[in-house]
Structure 1
């Protein structure tokens, strides 16, 4: 597929998809998972509110999929993908707030390359896995470390990853990227905290798709957050966290207190 940036956006009380071209959005007839046919209408980016590029996605997460992150977490490099899921209600879009829980004690950012599945996939060979990818977006696998460790002690992982707003995604879906060589940069209040590359993935994207599709059907719009590089750290109310992948853009989200969100 050619290199495109696809946005989901709100404008004039309606939601559209469009292809980004400089300062305009070439509106699509419908979902890009069905067709990239354009209506011929152009919308100005300046008037559009960018949304999470997939509404209410199924989100598959990967733990310890970068060797340096395993090391900083005092974990062994895994022998199989360490999988978990984040609820669809955890997904928010660019510039939306990450809500810091009232009882949160140690909430971390995790910038990640995120796969967007474009075609139904079941029992897909690794060599054909990328044929089922529509594109790639940016994800931030926000995590409550205290709750995560309590859960992990009993062999489960859900609530610590699954708070509402704990999966910012966006700002665009980029097609035609090479998932094996993408730089991931995370900044908090302008200071670089992570600077990694998907070359260092323990389990690369084709392997992950083949592995997941062995056990379950992957559907168009499913997201695979592929893991985070070294450098994860805490967030605080008032912070601005940015995750950048140069071929996709910058995902920017403020952190607010739960009381502010009510």
Structure 2
């Protein structure tokens, strides 16, 4: 298994593999030809960025059996999804502030993220693995009160796309089996979510295949696989949220109720 990160050091953006706190700097294209430069950096000496810059972010709704049962939702025959603005992306460690234009409930959603590594269009489920670069941790932050505020038009994109509402990282892990993973969400020190990827209605390979029949997936695109039971509101003035997936890492962010001044 390899973990890939993207960082800023000395005013320049770079990428490489990380083991413990050592970053082996690479040159080239993370999703294409690349090789180590011979340079090693310490994690504490760089600014960690989101591990890639997605061209699009796709988010799933109703993709876990346990949550569907709790909400009394039927199992969908095809993926139900929305698009999330790329300007919502935030890195590990970023402080996310309440949007000026919104004063309602804000919820966390711990999720597995799929990062595409090779262009995918109309691919089979059997071919999906070769188009997936790796997996990451996602917090699909949502302005919950906006979703159904207008009964004539569910506002998925708006509710999900405020600046900072798309933290993911800190790394992209390659060479692991996503079906063995579990996603944990810890809010202010208390575990709120702990659910297995194996409960997914549309498993990662199936999901990538089906989505590729709707739209071309490009290297760096991020698919947020949906969440399960345990989603909740971030109520404190300052909230600490960690999305932890063994084998990938821990994504940590803070959400502050005070709007940016």
Between Structure 1 and Structure 2, how many residues are aligned?
259
- Tell me which residue corresponds to 1:108: 107
Runs of 4+ in 1 over 6 A off after TM superposition: none
Residues 155 and 183 of structure 1: is their aligned pair in 2 closer, same or farther, counting only changes over 3 Å? Answer: same
Larger CA deviation: 163-172 vs 22-31: 22-31
Alpha-carbon distance, 1:77 to partner: 2.5
Matched, 1:35 2:33: yes
Residues 43 and 246 of structure 1: is their aligned pair in 2 closer, same or farther, counting only changes over 3 Å? Answer: same
- TM-score for both structures, normalised by structure 2: 0.94
Indicate if the aligned counterparts of 1:114 and 1:136 stay in contact, CA closer than 8 A.
yes
- Tell me which residue corresponds to 2:254: 254
Cα distance in structure 1, aligned partners of 2:205 and 2:54: 24
- Tell me which residue corresponds to 1:72: 70
- Tell me which residue corresponds to 1:244: 244
Cα distance in structure 2, aligned partners of 1:183 and 1:104: 32
Q: Unaligned stretches of 5+ in structure 1?
A: none
- Tell me which residue corresponds to 1:83: 81
Indicate if the aligned counterparts of 1:120 and 1:220 stay in contact, CA closer than 8 A.
yes
Aligned partner of residue 131 in structure 1, secondary structure: helix
Alpha-carbon distance, 1:194 to partner: 0.1
- Tell me which residue corresponds to 1:177: 176
Alpha-carbon distance, 1:60 to partner: 0.3
Q: Unaligned stretches of 5+ in structure 2?
A: none
Alpha-carbon distance, 1:249 to partner: 0.6
- Tell me which residue corresponds to 2:16: 18
Indicate if the aligned counterparts of 1:151 and 1:157 stay in contact, CA closer than 8 A.
no
- Tell me which residue corresponds to 1:192: 191
- Tell me which residue corresponds to 2:2: 4
Cα distance in structure 2, aligned partners of 1:151 and 1:115: 31
Alpha-carbon distance, 1:71 to partner: 3.1
Alpha-carbon distance, 1:215 to partner: 1.5
Indicate if the aligned counterparts of 2:139 and 2:167 stay in contact, CA closer than 8 A.
yes
Alpha-carbon distance, 1:155 to partner: 4.8
Cα distance in structure 1, aligned partners of 2:208 and 2:150: 26
- TM-score for both structures, normalised by structure 1: 0.94
Cα distance in structure 2, aligned partners of 1:127 and 1:258: 47
Alpha-carbon distance, 1:212 to partner: 0.8
Q: How does 1:186-225 map to 2 (within 5 A)?
A: 186-225=185-224
Q: How does 1:224-239 map to 2 (within 5 A)?
A: 224-236=223-235, 237-239=237-239
Q: How does 1:145-160 map to 2 (within 5 A)?
A: 145-150=144-149, 154-155=153-154, 157-160=156-159
Cα distance in structure 2, aligned partners of 1:151 and 1:170: 33
Larger CA deviation: 156-165 vs 215-224: 156-165
